[in-house]
Every structure is written in C-alpha cells, then in structure tokens.
Amino acid sequence: MVKPTVDALDIDAKTGTTLGFYTYGQHRPNILIVSGSNGLSATDVYASYLIMKHLQDLSRVDGSVTLLPVAGPLAFRLGAKVSPLDSKDLDTVFPGDEHGTVTQRIAWEIWRKVSQADYVIYLKTGVQSCISHSVAMHREYIHVRNLASQIGLPLVVQSLGNRGALTTEAAHEGIPVVTIEMRGERESVEPQAAVEVREAILNFMRMKDMIPGDSIDTSSVYTGRTKQVNIDTEGFFVPSVNLGEEIRNGEILGVVQEKSEVQSPYDGTVVSLSRMNYLFEGDMVARIASPLVEQPIEEEVEKLSEPAPRRKW
C-alpha cells in the first residue's frame, strides 16, 4: 500500500480555507492533478478520489503523483463558481499573488506546485452535458500536444487561451498541461464520466512506467476552438443528435417543441449539448468544435513552438 504524503496549506485561517495536497511516491516524473476549482459539480473531485483509491492500493509508484482534490474549498462547499470572499473565479487569476485576495493566494500556492511538476492535468466539469475531452493549446506548443496525445481521450479541443487560466499560463511557461472536461451536474455525480477520466489518466501513468500494468495505445482527433449555439426562442428543447457526433452547417441539433427546429450554424463535432429542458431565448444549446482546417489563420501560429523558459521559485 502506498501511503500519501499530505501537505496541508492554510490560506485563510478565519474561514478555514485550507488546501490539501496528497503525494504518492517520491521521485520524478511528477504529475500534478488539480480538481474542484468551483462547486458546480463534484464529478471532477470524484475522478480525483478514484485515482487516489487506485494509487493507495499499489505496492509502489515509480515517480510521484500529487493530487489537489479541492482547489477552491469555499466555492466547492457553497456550490458556487466564484469565491464568496472576493467574488473571483480561481481559473482566471493564475499565477496568483502571494499577497493578494484569498483566491489569488490559493492560485499562488497551486502555481508553486505547478512550477515544479513535469505534467499538469486540470480536471473540470462542463456547464452542460458533454463528451469527456481534453482542452489544450495544442496548436501553439508541441509539449502540450504531446501530453494531450498520451492522455488519449477521443477528442482534443483547441483552448481559447484566456490569460489567467491555469492551463494557459502553464503552457506559456513550458509546462506540459491539459484540461480534461467531463460532464457533471450540480446536485449529482456522473460516475461513468469520472471512471472514464480515471482510466485515461491511469493509462498515461502506465505509458510512463509509473504504475504497473499494460498501457493501451490510444488516438485522438484534434479540433479547433468550440463555438456556442444559442436559441432565439423559448420552450422545451429536445435534442436529436449525440455527443461526439459530426454535424454540418444547417443540420438539426434538436427542436423546440411546437415552435421550431434548432439548426447548427457550424460544421464540426458536438462537444456539449443541452439535455431535454425548458430553455429561454439566448440560452446555449450546444458547443461545436470546429474542424482544425477551418481555424482562422490569424488566430494561429505558423508552427508549434518550443517551450518557454520555466519560472524559478
């Protein structure tokens, strides 16, 4: 049995804001897995829990795996996207500020771990039902693309590259990093999605000879960025396509009962899709990942670049 080394960091004693890092193994390479940045779903936290359960049942880990199951303790506890203390979204303030607000100090402490890791995997749940997929700056950075290919989820979506996001800042610093997005609901856990993500990450560890077992060869489809599809009416929306399905401009995503069909304005892959629900005008019904060849040239780099020098801490 592998017992974790626990590093508990008190961020704000008044509110009990503490980060708990659990490290299995002692050597390199080191994989850092971060989840629970908000309280919109516990599915990503459950995926971390399943990975921890697997690791602790092993006889040894060659290298080390560090997990932070709950990165935003107060937001997670309250089921909120932002911290109630400073109204900040954790995934917008990296690399953080050692002397800033509570959320900025949380980001600072996480960033210290990120800067020491060989690979970083950020787990999150989507705002609507989605296919489990990786989100990464795979067009810009070869070290990011290599990691995404080894994680082996069926789909790798080009990141929006928003500054302040964990995966954006880490990629710019030369750190192999991906976000794994999975489906989840606010008041329930999607165990199938959590198991799927656990298996993808464990398979990556086997590929790196960190844990015992035979790895499985995987392949992924790379896409451009996602585009939102919103409805211009309200009513009961009933989807008519499946997650992961290829769709063409003008094809039907679903219907608003007794009113109209909802057509896709884009070609691409259905990454997320509203379940049957009552939707209002302007609500998002789907996200479509555009084909890679359609990515506007001005938004891309000419070739995959080498990692930037990493920060020293």
Q: Which domain holds residue 140?
A: 5-207
User: Residues 15, 94: one domain?
Assistant: yes
User: Residues 195, 263: one domain?
Assistant: no
User: Residues 65, 165: one domain?
Assistant: yes
pLDDT for 296: 54
User: Residues 123, 184: one domain?
Assistant: yes
Q: Considering its fold, how many domains does the chain have in total?
A: 2
Structural domain includes residue 232: yes
> Which whole-number Å values give the CA distances from 175 to 63, 237, 284, in the listed order?
17, 41, 33
pLDDT for 304: 46
Structural domain includes residue 150: yes
Residues of the chain with pLDDT under 70: 294-313
Reported as a single tens digit per residue, the pLDDT across 193-238 is 999 999 999 999 999 999 999 999 988 999 999 999 999 999 999 9
Structural domain includes residue 97: yes
Whichever domain contains 263, its CATH number is: 2.40.50.100
User: Residues 167, 21: one domain?
Assistant: yes
User: Residues 184, 48: one domain?
Assistant: yes
pLDDT for 303: 43
Instruction: Give the C-alpha separation, 101 to 99, whole Å.
Output: 7
Closest of 244, 258, 233 to residue 289, by C-alpha: 244
Task: Indicate if the alpha-carbon torsion angle 106, 112, 116, 119 is positive or negative.
Answer: positive
User: Residues 158, 13: one domain?
Assistant: yes
pLDDT for 294: 54
Three-state SS for 101?
Answer: coil
User: Residues 174, 276: one domain?
Assistant: no
**Is residue 42 a contact partner of residue 184, using CB atoms and an 8 Å limit?**
yes
User: Residues 102, 146: one domain?
Assistant: yes
Instruction: Give the C-alpha separation, 151 to 134, whole Å.
Output: 8
User: Residues 200, 231: one domain?
Assistant: no
Whichever domain contains 110, its CATH number is: 3.40.630.10
**Is residue 251 a contact partner of residue 199, using CB atoms and an 8 Å limit?**
no
pLDDT for 292: 87
Structural domain includes residue 77: yes
Q: Taking the complete model, does pTM exceed 0.75, yes or no? A: yes
